[in-house]
Amino acid sequence: MTDYALLTEQITALTADCPWALANLANAAAALYWSMDGINWAGFYLLRQGKLVLGPFQGKTACTVIEPERGVCGAAFRQDRVMNVPDVHQFPGHIACDSASNSELVIPLHDGAGKRVAVLDIDSTGYSRFSPEDEEGLTRLARELEKRIRWEDLNCGD
């Protein structure tokens, strides 16, 4: 399993001296993608004008705009909770960006005021790829990362 404490440290180091939010999210997406087995997509959707808009990612091209009513990303955002979906084909409204994806983990991200501003989305070709330990490690990582991003620079928000 990925050492999420180490990965969190690596992402913290990568973002520590860089004030630019876009660069930091881009490096975070790359670090996540290349540190985990069986992953075919890792990246961010950013809240803009009430919709989730594609941000930095690694993987195949993806849908650019997700309505908050739709998909696993929309559900995680709307309910402000982590969605760990073992079989995306069983998830009503799942958006199949890459037909190879079979399981998915989505974590809502917040600005300094606690407002939801984005989601981290990680897809896998495997079923049930994300164990409770993966979910916990990645959620902790996300809680650290969200503190290091200057969300206001990305014009995230309603």
Token look-up 């407002």 returns 115
Instruction: Give the shortest CB-10-to-ligand SME separation in angstroms.
Output: 23
Burial grade of 99 (CB within 10 A; 0-12, 13-18, 19 or more): exposed
Q: What are phi and psi of 97, to 5 degrees?
A: -75, -45
CB closer to ligand SME out of 76 and 154: 76
CB closer to ligand SME out of 51 and 150: 51
Contact 98, 60 (CB under 8 A): yes
- Interacting positions 34-93 with ligand SME (CB under 6 A): 41, 62, 66, 71-73
- Say whether residue 26 binds ligand SME (CB under 6 A): no
Which residues bind to ligand SME, rule: CB under 6 A?
41, 62, 66, 71-73, 94-95, 97, 101, 104, 121, 123
